[in-house]
Structure formats: C-alpha cells, structure tokens
Amino acid sequence: LTLSEMLHDQQHEMAAAETLQALVDLAEQDETVQRQIANRRGSMGPVLSRMHFFYAEHFKFAEEPQKVLEHLETAIDADPTDADALIALYRAPGKNVDLDRRVRSLIRQAAAQFQQQIELFTRQMDEGHDEEFRQWASARLASLYNQYAWLVGNTEGDYDTALRYSHRSLEIRPGTAGYLDTLGRCYYTKGDFANAVKHQSQALKRDAHSGLIKRQLDLFQRALDKQQESARAG
C-alpha cells in the first residue's frame, strides 16, 4: 500500500494501480490476505477505490476521458467516502447530468458522515477514557478533521468550516505535512493565496520529496503572483 502511494506521488499512476491490482488479485485467492486488509482498512472497499482512482489518473494523463469516468465511478461504488475519487470525479469533464448530481450528493453525504464521526469522537474524548484510548481517539479526530477539510476544500460546501477543521487537525498533530497541505488548499479555495503559499511551503519543508505537495505549491505560487501583478497594475 505504501509503495502504491509513493508511485502515485511521482505520477507513476499505472504502476501504482498495478501494485494494488496485484494485492487485490492475491486477496481474491487468499482469505488470510483478505482478513489482513480488512483488519487494516475495514474492508476491501478502500483498496479497490484507491486502485481505480490510480487507473483514472493514468487515463487522465493519457487523455482518455471515458475511461477516467468509468474508473472513478467504480472507485466511488467501492468506497463512497474516498475523498480523492470524489474530488477527481467532481472535476472530471464530460459527466452527464445524472453523474454530476450523484457526485455532488455523495460529497454532501461524505462530509456529513465525517461531521457525525467528528462529533462522536469529540464526545468520547470529553467523557474521559483512559490515556491510551484518548491518544487513539485524538489521532482519529485529527484525521477526520483533515478528511472533511480536504474533501470540502477541493469541491464545494462550507469552506469556513473546512478551514477551521484544517486548523484543528494541526492543533492535534502540529507540523503534519499532509495536514499542512490541506490547510494550503483551504486557503487557496478561499482566495487567500498568500496564506496558501505560506502553509504549503511549510508542508514541503516537512516532506521535501513529495511531488504532490510541490505541484500544489507551484499552483498556489502562480495564483499569488498573478494576484500581486493585478494589484500592482490596478
């Protein structure tokens, strides 16, 4: 699983997909592998969704939009809360009206599910369990804050809440590169390009080898440069 993410980070999308495909094929033949994946990810759904997301990314670069849509639909069928698959399908061109409505509905549902889980874990933290549970719940809560912020910040919904939740994730897990990456995106979505560049730069310092983070920083920097040029011209 880690190898596939490393390959995806460097935009080797077919290799990333094939890495997970080999795991999926093995799981279909070996119940022990299935159980190991289920113990780690809850079910095969997230792995299947991730695999098809990687296939979709490959076909996006290959300029085969129909295959992109096919794989993204399969991805959200496997895991309707896969934020990256939902974001990709939200942005994908060529969707018909029904598919566009479906992905927008799934985004709202996923955000609502993350919100419910946030409230649940917050209550459990407040109820005062032992320290081991609190540490686990705290990490889970940070992840949920980040998932909500990443999904909404890249699509549609309550951008103010997304930004607030992104900050909360970093209050729990300060300096986490992936969470700083999300914060940069939330600021970018709100048009605050200076803060987007600031936090994305911090993310890159924390994970200097991440192609994904570097590409986002380049995007944010271009937006900031354009904004500053317009301000000087005006």
Share of the chain above pLDDT 90, in %: 83
Q: What are the residues whose beta carbons fall under 8 Å from the beta carbon of 84, sequence distance 6 or more? A: 50, 53
pLDDT digits (tens, 9 = 90+) for 98-113: 999 999 999 999 999 9
CA distances from 231 to 225, 226, 227, 228 (A): 10, 9, 6, 5
Task: State the pLDDT at residue 111.
Answer: 98
Mean pLDDT taken over the chain: 94
Task: State the pLDDT at residue 130.
Answer: 80
Distance CA 73, CA 93 (A): 13
33 vs 166: which has the higher pLDDT: 166
Task: State the pLDDT at residue 136.
Answer: 87
Task: State the pLDDT at residue 38.
Answer: 78
**Would you place residue 221 in the very low, low, confident or very high pLDDT band (cuts 50, 70, 90)?**
very high
Task: State the pLDDT at residue 18.
Answer: 97
**Would you place residue 127 in the very low, low, confident or very high pLDDT band (cuts 50, 70, 90)?**
confident
Extended strands (E) in 93-151:
none
Task: Give the CA count within 13 Å in the CB-facing half-sphere of 202.
Answer: 18
Asked whether residue 41 carries a pLDDT value surpassing 80, the answer given is no
pLDDT digits (tens, 9 = 90+) for 61-95: 999 999 999 999 999 999 999 999 999 999 999 99
Asked whether residue 129 carries a pLDDT value surpassing 90, the answer given is no
Contacts 24+ apart (CB under 8 A), 219-223: 219/188, 220/184, 220/188, 220/193, 220/196, 221/197, 223/188, 223/193, 223/196
Distance CA 90, CA 53 (A): 13
Q: Which of 29-43, 53-67, 201-215 has the lowest mean pLDDT?
A: 29-43
**Would you place residue 32 in the very low, low, confident or very high pLDDT band (cuts 50, 70, 90)?**
confident
Task: State the pLDDT at residue 28.
Answer: 87
Task: State the pLDDT at residue 52.
Answer: 98
Asked whether residue 115 carries a pLDDT value surpassing 90, the answer given is yes
Domains of the chain: 1-95 (1.25.40)
Asked whether residue 169 carries a pLDDT value surpassing 90, the answer given is yes
- The predicted model gives 131-159 an average pLDDT of 94
Q: Check if the beta carbon of residue 217 is closer than 8 Å to that of residue 196.
A: no
Distance CA 86, CA 111 (A): 11
Structure tokens at 95: 């969707």
